[in-house]
Every structure is written in structure tokens, then in C-alpha cells.
Amino acid sequence: MDDAHARSVAEVLRFFRVDPTTGLTDYQISENGRIYGRNVLPQEGSTPFWKLVLKQFDDLLVKILIGAALVSFLLALIDGETGVTAFLEPSVILLILAANAAVGVITETNAEKALEELRAYQADVATVLRNGCFSILPATDLVPGDIVEVGVGCKIPADMRMIEMLSNQLRVDQAILTGESCSVEKVLESTVAANAVYQDKTNMLFSGTVVVGGRARAVVIGVGSNTAMGSIRDAMLRAEDEVTPLKKKLDEFGTFLAKVIAGICVLVWVVNIGHFRDPSHGGFLRGAIHYFKIAVALAVAAIPEGLPAVVTTCLALGTKRMARMNAIVRSLPSVETLGCTTVICSDKTGTLTTNMMSVSKICVVRSGRNDPTTDEYIVSGTTYAPEGVIFDSAGMKLEFPAQLPCLLHIAMCSALCNDSTLQYNPDKGTYEKIGESTEVALRVLAEKVGLPGFDSMPSALNMLSKHERASYCNHYWENQFKKVYLLDFSRDRKMMSVLCSQKQVKIMFSKGAPESIISRCTSVLCNDDGSSIPLNIDVQAELEARFQSFAGKETLRCLALAFKRIPLGQQAISFDDERDLTFIGLVGMLDPPREEVRNAMLSCMLAGIRVIVVTGDNKATAESLCCKIGAFDHSGDFAGCSYTASEFEELSALQKTMALQRMLLFSRVEPSHKRMLVEALQHQNEVVAMTGDGVNDAPALKKADIGIAMGSGTAVAKSASDMVLADDNFASIVAAVAEGRAIYNNTRQFIRYMISSNIGEVVCIFVAAMLGIPDTLVPVQLLWVNLVTDGLPATAIGFNKQDSDVMKAKPRKVSEAVVTGWLFFRYLVIGAYVGLATVAGFIWWFIYSENGPKLLYSELVNFDTCGTRETTYPCSIFDDRHPSTVSMTVLVVVEMFNALNNLSENQSLLVVPPWSNLWLVASIFLTMLLHVLILYVKPLSILFSVTPLSWADWTIVLYLSFPVIIIDEVLKFFSRNPRGFKLNFRFRRMDLLPKRELRDK
């Protein structure tokens, strides 16, 4: 029944054919169970393991590598190779791919726990009326039509419509569902609001929420998936995991690279068709196979096999640094996503605020002798911890608050006219409430005021254990006064009263809405001397003016406190006794903002990040908070910046688009609105981070580009998020954003390093094929260079220091390519030099080396006809391992120098010296040590087809390698000074990658 909130009690009962005095019969229970199903959230089937494995190989570069491995294996068999030689290259490639796939499978297997965590918010049992008798049954047995009784502390077992009130009122904490900071009063009357949201359905009890006051009966109207919790579950299922901007760019770059590689491989094979019949190959088919092997080697050289592992390692390093800042990352790619975040949709309650009601202001009457004057006090402390002090209007701390008559009576009334409990939880190390949050705020106030008659108060209270301190002063007053009779809060009176006795004195303490209390007062307690004076028109006007200021401008939730002496023999009180009261004071409370939020907001603005506050609370309260935290600092007018969910939905499509561009506050929302906001912003190409802590936030957290949950939040929110703030500190997000930006910069640097190195390998093989000289490098040598000598320095680049102005730049655009036109030109220049230097080392050994054959260049390029002509050297010289070893060593050393170039994208090595990143220096040293090992340790040298080098060989290696630093220094100079030379190399499109709409869903 979807519209139960709009129907009368009689209509709802008639729909389910249930008698409220007897409940359902056994037949009706069976029939309704068959029609509506069980009261459980269905378990979603997990993705089969084999599908997760296959998903990891759904990438064009990976498919090319698999194809290269298979082709390499088949060609080895065709050539008659057996044993280790035939399997070495394909085995290494497949091992790399298997390792990357394993990381992906583990990550995805551990990610989806939110749906299971959602079950924790379902009630275990319920008190149900069936066949005329009440019984306690498992909540899973409930069916629509069941009559259920609920009371204080009960977790609502299903969605229900109120049918009978068993106390003066019923209040429910709906924070996990709607984000409201205060509990909600429930009524029996139908809801008349059009397009009613959860907050408007005041006659409904929602599954998973908790009763904090009163007793009532209700009829079940929705179970399992047809509940508020069920709708959250469905929203989470519909939310597909968003691909991060970096992943999108790497995928695009991979596709682009794969197409280029395929084109070059085909080109190399085609241009050598004329050499297929060369006698050295032994026939056309074998010649074709030979050059096909070269094309495969080219593919292996061009594809950066280690790139996924290096990206993962760099992100993992970032997560360790962020963990030290209390930002715990659950999804590695989300680290980088923070760096390009443009909008943070922040939940208000519990994220920007403490989610703990706290008394912040007190107003009392000073004296009535002259003009009516009032005193205003400010109370510090924003949590349930009894820690805080009271300041007067001049900002002076009160040393002994309990010595002031009004503050003393406020503490007494707060402790006695109260049904809540405050206790210390040693496991969590926090103070926790049981009952209404406004009443707990009054208990905390009583603790801050302290006790009278002790000069050491309130400092002596700090000597107590936290368990004793939680309610020490409250217990003192409860021991001094015995509660005799209680008049519960009711909606018509808007107040509650309690009769207390102390020795020969009986006093009635009352608290309630200021308009109700003040209208019942005839006198007022003076704070100067503790006397009582008549409440005249002038005093009443001033009190009402203070109340309007508290409730209006400062949007505080106000309560007035009063007392009355009762005749000694009276044992009970009635509504008639709630007259001729003596006014004590006015208290204003709020869910206070966290102290560090304002500076965090300012940092976001400087970084070009817009913060949209999203809350289920009413508009006025939320706007007041936004003013306090600085969200509206740059805007004096709220128009166009603040919308309720219903106001936003009434806008036209064009008006919604314009509103989204200026919105800073979105109030009175429910879970579906949060998810809708995230989607709408994403359609405008915004990168959205969503923060939250409640069950209601989970669908939006899952849908956002990065979901950020609070450490003290619900398990559902944490499981649906990408990152958890252990300290619940909004300011930690700013530090995380800076880290994300730094990680992206380092990612660009090691991508630049790896791609320029791979371009060098491609140029090496391509030029060798074009010149007609022997193979400069064999595939296993290329794999060694790509994995070890490329991988270690690339990983160390991830330790590059964060730029000092990283948070002063605007967020980069989602459409910005990882590799821009000018940057790709630099790749080509460096890569071309790397390739040419590698080929030059190969040629040098044959023509100039003292240990080489000293051939003529024409003899080298015609090596394939060696067997058909007379020569002064044996043809076996072209199978010597020395030239390829020199080439491989040049390639390794030139890449080590190139790694130093990547300490900064544009800064010279004179500004950013090598020792600024000692990890990079260490990785270069380790890489060279490993390379020396394979050169001089015999089993390894045989495996990699290399041989030891002489000092003369090492000298030429250094001569050929070092110029790469000089070339990049020149390119960096033009990058820092873009006028002139660089303009001649501008591409028509600065983005070389294929253009694609990034927000296609």
C-alpha cells in the first residue's frame, strides 16, 4: 500500500481486512505471507569467480599481449625449439598478466559488502497482536496487516502506519534514514502534503528507525523490499561502479597505443616483404615467419607490461600516506579521483556537525528593579562529553557557574525534568545517549554548570573517572530530590512537568516550548540575588525578543524552564497546577558544526572545489549552519544557492541546469534525492565526491565518483564508500584531495617515463628492420627491460615530493588527456633518441669496437647474404651476443638517466636535484646491480642471451646515454617558456587521444 500515509486509519485497516482489537487470523497470515513475501531483504547473488577472472583480461593491450605470447610459442615450435627456450617468453608474459588479474579479482571480491551490512538494521523481534493475543515473534515473520506495538528503545521491524497512541506522544529517531538531527514526533492524522517525502509522512514508522519516546500501535503496510530500507537496497543495486578518471584515460591511452602498435607491426612486416626470399631465411615462408617474429617483438617492446603494476603500487603508496592523515582508502583508484574532484556533496548531520545536540546559549533575567535586563551566557563544548565552560556576554569565563541562582536552578531542572540517560562507552571511548537528544543536551548542561557549595567546583569533577563523570551532577540532584509524579509531554500543552520532594519542600519543575512556558508564568527568578519578581509586560517582551533572536536569526532549538512550589501534602500534580510558574531561563541548543570545518571549507574554495551541503533538515536550520561554516561567505543572498528537494523538483529542466551550477545547499532531501543530485552533477561533467554516514547515504555514496564515509558512521555507509574518514573530520578530505592531486602528477611522470622508454624500444626495432641490420634485441631482453629496469624507477617516481602549490590550482578537467600534444612530442623526441642510441651501440660494436669484427657499414646491412659471398670473417659473427648486450646496456643506462629527468615535469635537475627523491636514486642503483648480475653471472647471462662487457664497452655506453639529460633539459626550458619555439610545434588538437564523451553512461 504505497499511499498509506495519505489514508485514514480506518481506510488502512479496511484495506488489510484487520480488526485492531484482535489482529490477523492464521488464515490471513498465511495468505498475506504468500502475497507479499517474507520480511527480509533478499540476498543478491554474487558474480561468479570465473566471470571476475575473465573481466580482468577484457582489455585491448592485454589481448595483444596474450596474442603475442601464443604467437611466440607457436613460432618457437615451428622453428623446432624445445624446453625452456620455447616457453620462456610466453611464460613470462602470461605470468605478468596472471599477477595483474589476481590483484583485480581480490579487489572486486572484497568490495561489495554494503548489501549484507544493510541487514544489520533490521529488527530481530516484534510485539505482534494475532488472534486476539499479543506475542513476541521474529521480525521476519511479520506480514502486511499485522498489528505491532512499539515503545522506547524499539527498532521498527517494518514500514508501518500509526493507528493508536498509547502515550501522550511518540518520537522516533530517523537520522539513519533522513539525516534529521532531531527526533520526529509521530501523529495519527493523514498527511495532506503533495509529493510527500519521508519527513512529511509523520504518521508512518519506517523500518530500521528507533523509538526514543512514548508507546503506540501500528499496522504493517510494507515488508522486505517494500520498505524504506528495501528502497535503499534497490538504489544500491542500480548504482553501477563508476570508472575513475585516471582509469578512463589509461584505457583511452591503451586503446590508442594498441592501434598505433598494430599499425607499426603491420608496417614493419609489409615493408620487409622484399626480404622474405633472402637466402639466409631458407625460403619465402621462413622469411615471412622471421619478420613476423620481429613484428611480435615490436608489440612486446611497445606495450608497457609493468604499467598496471606500477599504477597500483603508486596508488598504494598514496593510501599509506593518507592513512596517516586518518583517511582510510577502500578502493585504490579513488585516491587519484580525489585529485580532480570538482564538487563535494557533503551530508550535514554528523559530517559538518557533530550529530550531538548541545546547549550553546542561555538567557536569564538579571534583575527587575530598574529596566528589565537579561543576561546571556555562551556554553562551550559541542559533543555529549561533559566537557565545556560557560562564558558571560563579555566573553569572561565563569569560575563557579553554580553560584548564580538562575544557572543553579537551570541545572536542577535540566537534571530532574528529564527522561534520558548519558553514559560512557569504554569500548568506543565516547559518551552515548539513550533517549531524546534534546534531553541529553540538558543533562550535559547540568554537568557543565557543576554543583554549588564547593570552591573546587567544577574543576574537581575532572578528577573523576569518565564513567563516573558522565552523570555525576545529575545523580547528585536526583539523590537530593525524589521524583514523586510526572506529567508527560503532550502536543497540546507543549511541555512536561515533574513533581519533586526534598525534606520539607515540594517543587514542580517544568520545561517546554517558550511560548507555552512564558504564558503560564507570573513571576521570574532574578539572577542577581535569587529573588522572584512579577513577570510584567516589559520583562515578558524582552524575553520574547530574546526567544525570537535565538529561534530566528540563530536557528537554535529553544526550551524554557520554570518551577513552582507545591503545598507539602500534595502527592500528585495535574494540568491545572501548570499555572503561576516562576520563569528560570531560556536555553538554545543546536547540532553544532565541527570546529575545523570552516577552514576546510576555505581550503576547498581556494582549490576550486564547490561544496554542496545536503541534508534532510529544514531549510532555515541548514542555512544557518552554512553561514556558520562559511559555505555562504561569498554570497550575501541565499537565492539561487539554497533549495529544498520539493523546490528543486518544481523547476523546469533549464532552471534545474542553472540551479545545479550555483547550488550550495540542498535541504529536506531523502535518499533518492541524494542519488539524483549526484547523477545530475555527473551529467554536467562534474567529478563528484559524496560524504555521509547514515544508511540513507549509501546509494549516493555508491553512485558518486568517490564515496567518503565517516568512521563513526553506519557499516552500510562504510561498505558502500571508497574512503573512510577515521576521525570524522571534514578537514581530512582537503588533505586527501591534495594527496590525490600529487599522486596524479606522479602518475603522469612515470607514465611519461615508461612510454618514452617503450617508444625508444619501438624505434630501436623499427630502425634496425628498416636498415636491414641483425636483430638488436631479442624478445626476452625487451621483457627484462620493461619489467625490471623500467618498473623499479617508475615505482620510485611515485615518491616524488608534493608541489607546494598543489592546492592552489583549479581541479583538472575530466576531459584533460593524460598525454597532451606537447607532452607527446617530448615523448617522441626522447624516445627517438633512446632508440637511435640503442641502435648506435649495436652498430658501433660491429664497426668500431676493438673487440668487434670492424666491418664496413655495407657489410653489416647486407649480413643476410653473407653465406652467398666470400668474406674475411665468419658469418657466425652476426650471432655474437656482444652487440645485443651493448644495445641492451645502452637501453638500460639511458633509461636510468631518463628516470632522473622525471623528478619534475618541467623543473630542471638543477632546481630539483636527484637527492630530492632518494627512493629513485636507490631504485636506479638496484636496477644497475640487477643488470650487472645478468651480465656477469653465467646461468643468467645464458638465459638472457647476454655476455660480459669490457671497460671500453661501458665507456661508449655512457657516452651514448648521457645526452638524454641534455635533450630533456632543453625541452623543459621550452615548456617553462612557452613562447617561441614551442608554438611551432603546436598540434591542431592538443589531445592526441581519441576524443570520447566521458560521461556516457
Residues recognised as catalytic: 347
Judge contact between 899 and 797, C-beta under 8 A. yes
Please answer whether residues 327 and 726 qualify as being in contact, where contact means their C-beta atoms are separated by less than 8 angstroms: yes
| Cα separations in angstroms, 228 against 49, 204, 233, 350 | 32, 11, 9, 21
Q: Are 786 and 304 in contact (CB under 8 A)?
A: yes
Distances (CA, A) of 366 to 404, 456, 512, 589: 10, 25, 21, 21
CA distance 368 to 371: 6
∠ Cα 32 38 42 (to 5°): 145
Is the distance from CB of 718 to CB of 584 less than 8 angstroms?
no
Task: Find cell 556554553 and name the residue.
Answer: 379
**Residues 71, 77: Cα–Cα separation, whole Å:** 10
- C-alpha cell belonging to residue 461: 569533577
Say if residue 850 is exposed, middle or buried (CB neighbours under 10 Å; 0-12, 13-18, 19+): exposed
DSSP letters of 186-216? E-SSPP--TT--GGG-TTEE-TT-EEEE--E
Distance from the first to the final alpha carbon of the chain: 33
- Pull the grid cell for residue 330: 577502500
Using DSSP's 3-state secondary structure scheme, residue 825 falls into: helix
CA dihedral 973, 976, 979, 982 (to 10 degrees): 60
Q: What is the C-alpha separation between 799 and 778, in angstroms, rounded?
A: 32
Q: What DSSP string runs through 242-273?
A: PPPHHHHHHHHHHHHHHHHHHHHHHHHHHHTG
Report helix, strand or coil for 668.
Answer: coil
Cα–Cα distance for residue pair 197/297, rounded to 1 Å: 63
**CA-closest candidate to residue 346, choices 114, 113, 594:** 594
Helix (H) or strand (E) holding 546: helix 537-548
Rounded CA separation 784/941 (Å): 12
For residue 603 the three cell numbers come to 581550503
> Omega into 458 within 30° of 0, i.e. cis?
yes
Residue with grid cell 533549495, as numbered in its chain: 643
Residues near 150 by Cβ (< 8 Å), separated by ≥ 6?
A: 127, 156, 170, 205, 211, 215, 216, 217, 218
Cα 603 from chain centre:
18
Chain Cα centroid distance, residue 52: 24
C-alpha–C-alpha distance, residues 350 and 594, integer Å = 9
